[in-house]
Chain A
Amino acid sequence: DVQLVESGGDLVQPGGSLRLSCAASGFTFSDYWMSWVRQAPGKGLEWVANIKVDGSDSYFLGSVTGRFTISRDNAKNSVYLQMNSLTAEDTAVYYCATDLHCSGGVCQRFERFAYWGQGTLLTVSS
């Protein structure tokens, strides 16, 4: 079975940094782009970033560009979200999710967001 397990959420002071991790199992991780999606308390879902299968390309939400970086380690079946210069507006549950499935140079758009982790909570507060 596909499993995504996020970790690393914590209470951080404004201006601080944190790295979230997402460990994947049950599928060929290196064939999938991966995304991070967040949800502030009592609010809706917001896509944050994604990363290509080999880590060579990534895209970000405008409000996190320059502060967040995304990376992956295919040998460890893991994707990471490094978050710097954190503000209260970054307080949220962060989910990782599977994104594009690419195999043999062909990518399937319909695979996007088929699987999600359970989320990890980041609280930014003094």
Chain B
Amino acid sequence: DIQMTQSPSSLSASVGDRVTITCRASQGIGSDLGWFQQKPGKAPKRLIYAASSLQSGVSSRFSGSGSGTEFTLTISSLQPEDFATYYCLQHNTYPFTFGPGTKVDIK
């Protein structure tokens, strides 16, 4: 199975901060990667698909980059509604695998 790791596992940040989350795959997955935001008690919401494409309706302060084995999610200016847990997902090879998550909370 492809192992997905995320760093950091958690971070504390202030409104207006630039935040970067890294996701690494144990083998190459091309651009078959998505980023998801999840708030407590809610379903995940897709933010980024194909590693760097912004989901329709999602704020442009979210961006994704990378290919192969290393990927990043960047929030350019953190807003109060962005405090949540973020997951990456590889859908290149079965079984699909998620990263363990990065919890972003208020400093």
Using a CB–CB cutoff of 8 Å, the interface residues on chain A facing chain B are: 35, 37, 44-47, 50, 59-62, 95, 109-110, 112-114, 116-119
Contacts and interface: CB of A to CB of B under 8 A. Distances in A.
A119 B91 CA distance: 21
Nearest to A50: B96
Given A61-B95, A62-B95, A110-B53, A45 B46 contact: no
Contacts of B91: 109, 112-113
Given A62-B1, A112-B49, A117 B43 contact: yes
Contacts of B50: 109-110
Contacts, number: 56
A46 B101 CA distance: 11
Contact of B95 (A47, A112, A114): A47
Q: Determine the main DSSP class of B at the interface with A.
A: loop
Interface in B72-107: 87, 89, 91, 94-101
A50 B49 CA distance: 18
Nearest to B97: A47
In the complex, which of the residues A113, A114, A117 has the most CB atoms of chain B within 10 Å of its own CB atom?
A113
